[in-house]
């Protein structure tokens, strides 16, 4: 982890949980590189630069990860490129599915032994891929399994991109229930705080949205970046010129409670986080998503719903209410149905758009807050 990947130090008592063992990043991979960088890399290997275009069309356009079948490249070029620029990144160690095979969670072992997870969710009108940006997480939110595990290290750009490519290959090969398909949405809501790994995350998103052969050609509007509220990075993301959806993990409308539920609030309180979110919406013209896990008798009271509604009223915003998903050892549980219903009605009285999120993947510990990269 480098200093440029960390949020800027500021006031307050929050201290990001330090990495348990700062494993080295993996060797360079073509999914770390722009098309021009790939041309430079293959040229440095003594291979003509135009081969970079060919390998990119295979890797990103055709989703073909078997260099032995790249017959548009010479055998020597294939071997040279594969040895130098295609190191193994994600080793599948566990795959679980539910919802009739339309939700698939994969646990990956990285080159240094770190574990991360990604979740593919197929709906009737879209396919969403939830990917990780860090091995573990340093934000220390007490109701989240990932946060309680602590941070191991940031992922490389390629380790992020390859999670999406792995899901894309599964769909293309018809290995997900429902037949062949394409990923339409990517959400950085897996393990880690994406904006604490800012540079690599943004480069990964630029590669995902770049047209073939450079990238996958996804729509930036189909990508959501989640954050607990790293205010300087929200402002930086707004200036990237790409209309990603910003999702703010708020979970409480008041500083007293949010200081406990989301410790980074001690550094950037609710008002500052929301001000940054509204500025993001103004610049990008994209509606902000507010993520709010409903916890029984903790943050689900009607007065807190009213407080939240007053904060959000009239803004370009949508609230995702998340029934708290169970995690091992947690002292908290999901709200009662009647409390959830009253919370929704209170927000609606303020004119705030609100949805209770589908708890896809709960049975396989693949839902929000459950990702702990277990191999058991």
Angle, alpha carbons 312-316-322 (nearest 5°): 60
Residue 24's contacts (CB-CB under 8 Å, 6 or more residues apart) are 112
Cis peptide before 25 (omega within 30 of 0): no
Q: Is the dihedral of CA 87, 93, 97, 103 positive or negative?
A: negative
Torsion of CA 225, 231, 232, 236, to 10 degrees: 30
- What CA–CA distance (Å, rounded) separates 21 from 115? 13
What is the value of pTM for the model shown? 0.90
Using DSSP's 3-state secondary structure scheme, residue 80 falls into helix
Structural tokens at position 338: 């009647």
Say if residue 374's pLDDT is above 70: no
pLDDT tens digit sequence for 164-217: 999 999 999 999 999 999 999 999 999 999 999 999 999 999 999 999 999 999
Give the residue numbers annotated as catalytic, written as ranges. 117, 368
Say if residue 261's pLDDT is above 80: yes
Parts of the chain belonging to CATH 3.20.20.70: 89-364
Q: Which fold has domain 30-85?
A: DNA polymerase; domain 1 (1.10.150)
pLDDT tens digit sequence for 190-201: 999 999 999 999
- What CA–CA distance (Å, rounded) separates 287 from 177? 32
Say if residue 18's pLDDT is above 60: no
Torsion of CA 170, 117, 133, 204, to 10 degrees: -10
- What CA–CA distance (Å, rounded) separates 177 from 156? 30
pLDDT for the residue 22: 52
pLDDT band at residue 360 using 50, 70 and 90 as cut-offs: low
- What CA–CA distance (Å, rounded) separates 31 from 13? 38
H helices of the chain, in order, are 35-44, 50-56, 75-85, 145-149, 157-172, 198-209, 231-238, 255-261, 270-284, 302-312, 337-349
pLDDT band at residue 375 using 50, 70 and 90 as cut-offs: low
Q: Which fold has domain 89-364?
A: TIM Barrel (3.20.20)
Q: Which of 126-135, 222-231, 319-328, 345-354 is the least confident region? A: 319-328
pLDDT for the residue 366: 44
**Is the separation of the CB atoms in 168 and 182 below 8 Å?**
yes
pLDDT for the residue 258: 98
Parts of the chain belonging to CATH 1.10.150.530: 30-85
- What CA–CA distance (Å, rounded) separates 227 from 233? 9
Mean pLDDT of the chain: 90
pLDDT tens digit sequence for 77-123: 999 999 999 999 999 999 999 999 999 999 999 999 999 999 999 99
């Amino acid at each position: 982890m480098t200093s440029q990947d960390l949020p800027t130090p500021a006031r307050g008592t929050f201290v990001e949980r330090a990495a348990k063992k700062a494993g080295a990043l993996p060797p360079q991979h073509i999914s770390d590189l722009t098309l021009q960088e790939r041309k430079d890399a293959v040229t440095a290997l003594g291979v003509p630069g135009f081969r970079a275009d060919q390998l990119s069309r295979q890797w990103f356009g055709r989703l073909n990860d078997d260099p032995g079948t790249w017959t548009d490249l010479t055998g020597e070029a294939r071997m040279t490129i594969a040895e130098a620029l295609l190191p193994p990144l994600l080793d599948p160690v566990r795959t679980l599915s539910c919802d009739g095979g339309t939700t698939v969670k994969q646990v990956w072992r990285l080159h240094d032994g770190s574990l991360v997870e990604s979740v593919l969710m197929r709906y009737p009108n879209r396919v969403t891929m939830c990917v990780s940006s860090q091995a573990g997480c340093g934000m220390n939110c007490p109701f989240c399994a990932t946060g309680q595990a602590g941070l191991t290290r940031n992922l490389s750009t390629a380790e992020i991109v390859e999670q999406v490519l792995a899901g894309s290959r599964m769909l293309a090969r018809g290995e997900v229930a429902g037949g062949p398909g394409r990923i339409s949405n990517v959400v950085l809501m897996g393990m880690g705080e994406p904006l604490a790994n800012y540079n690599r995350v943004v480069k990964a998103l630029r590669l995902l949205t770049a047209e073939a052969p450079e990238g996958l050609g996804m729509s930036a509007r189909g990508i959501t970046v989640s954050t607990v509220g790293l205010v300087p990075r929200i402002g930086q993301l707004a200036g990237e010129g790409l209309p990603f959806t910003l999702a703010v993990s708020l979970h409480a409308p008041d500083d007293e409670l949010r200081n406990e539920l989301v410790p980074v609030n001690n550094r950037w309180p609710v008002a500052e986080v929301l001000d940054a979110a509204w500025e993001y919406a103004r610049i990008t013209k994209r509606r902000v998503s507010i993520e709010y896990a409903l916890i029984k008798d903790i943050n689900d009271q009607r007065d807190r719903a009213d407080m939240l509604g007053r904060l959000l009223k009239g803004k370009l915003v949508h609230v995702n209410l998340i029934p708290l998903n169970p995690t091992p050892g947690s002292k908290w549980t999901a709200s009662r149905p009647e409390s959830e219903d009253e919370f929704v009605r209170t927000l609606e009285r303020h004119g705030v758009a609100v949805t209770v999120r589908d708890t896809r993947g709960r049975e396989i510990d693949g839902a929000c807050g459950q990702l702990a990269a277990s191999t058991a």
